[in-house]
Amino acid sequence: MLASKVVEWSKIGQLVYSALGVALAVTIAFSIAVAGATRFAELRRDGAMARATAWAALAVAGLAVVAAAIVLGIVVMAKKS
What is the per-residue pLDDT across 29-48, written as a single tens digit (0 to 9) for each?
Answer: 999 999 999 999 999 999 99
In a domain, 64, yes or no: yes
In a domain, 7, yes or no: no
**Average pLDDT across the chain, whole number:** 92
Contacts of 62 (CB under 8 A, 6+ apart): 29, 30, 31, 32, 33, 34, 36
In a domain, 44, yes or no: yes
d(CA 19, CA 27): 12
Model-level pTM?
0.79
- As a whole-number percent, the residues of the chain with pLDDT over 70 amount to 95
- Whether 63 and 33 have beta carbons less than 8 Å apart is answered as yes
In a domain, 29, yes or no: yes
The tally of domains found in the chain comes to 1
In a domain, 3, yes or no: no
Residue 45: predicted pLDDT: 93
Residue 63: predicted pLDDT: 97
Amino acid identity for residue 76 in this structure: V
Give alpha helix (H) positions in 1-81.
2-6, 9-46, 49-78
- Whether 39 and 57 have beta carbons less than 8 Å apart is answered as no
Across the range 11-19, mean pLDDT stands at: 91
Question: Domain limits at 48?
Answer: 20-78
